[in-house]
Structure 1
């Protein structure tokens, strides 16, 4: 099953063999967004506000239950960042495309996508791996997570 998922992900690259080589050599391949899938960038503080903790295994379990699709975890200099993979044509694009805190990344953007078996730190890994080829998060679930996170962060800021 992992091989089928890897082949699906590799097809996002104009030269799928290059994606496979990057996974073999570096564990992460830079894949262009906007054709096969897009990604909504979710700041760690927003995700943790919804989940109620920062412990990676608990966050992964909660994201799986909330989003029902694949999520990549990356740790940047500014902290944890999550990327929920969605269908590029999904209605979430219009609602979060202009958002600064949870933008939808598509055409013209590349995302570091880990090899399918990278499921723990260090480095970029799958917090929630795809379950099958074509598996993506539901846009309504991503919108709900973003709005709940914003509400909880705002409540915390005024408390």
Structure 2
């Protein structure tokens, strides 16, 4: 991924189970805001903070139907396990309804040519507190395992290709 810079991704921990602690990851996430202390305060009070996109990361908004079609179902633990393996990076879900979209976090300089909407500068994303959630608005489907831990948009594009219906070919008699 290249050299680590303050606004880009940091190399992932080789062992997702023994990476840095939640505090280090939370500090990296909070630094997406010009006032990280207000982010920590929002997480403590509401369990959710609105973070500006385009500085540390962007997000691709994927409708739940597309994710569930690609994964083969909508059972939360199965979806989480599948996305953790396939995308190997953080994913947030709007859980206010069964149709709530997924937000796949990607690097600000990563290319995306898919049909799903890329959210970037001048957009705020509701980011839940790491650990035990306090909010019923959003949940980490796959939490970040290290500062700069982000999804590869190429992996997302490949996954979403499996959600596409195959074209029906008619054979003339």
Would the TM-score normalized by the shorter structure come out above 0.5? yes
Residue pair 1:30, 1:111 contacting (<8 A) in 2 also: yes
Aligned to 2:34, the other structure's residue is in SS state: coil
How big is each residue's C-alpha offset from its partner over 1:89-147, in whole Å with a ceiling of 9 and x where there is no partner? Answer: 1012xx13xx3xx2110011100000011469843110000001110001211111222
Q: Does 1:130 align with 2:150?
A: no
Q: Does 1:147 align with 2:167?
A: no
Aligned equivalents of 1:5, 1:34: Cα separation in 2: 18
Aligned equivalents of 1:147, 1:108: Cα separation in 2: 29
CA offset at residue 79 of structure 1? 1.3
Correspondence 1:2-151 to 2 at 5 A: 2-76=22-96, 79-92=99-112, 95-96=113-114, 99=115, 102-118=116-132, 122-149=136-163, 151=164
Q: Which runs of 5+ in 1 are unaligned?
A: none
Aligned equivalents of 2:148, 2:127: Cα separation in 1: 15
Aligned to 1:64, the other structure's residue is in SS state: helix
Give the structure with the larger helix fraction: 1
Whichever of the two has the greater Rg, that structure is 2
Residue pair 1:70, 1:130 contacting (<8 A) in 2 also: yes
Give the structure with the larger strand fraction: 1
CA offset at residue 88 of structure 1? 1.0
Q: CA RMSD in A?
A: 2.1
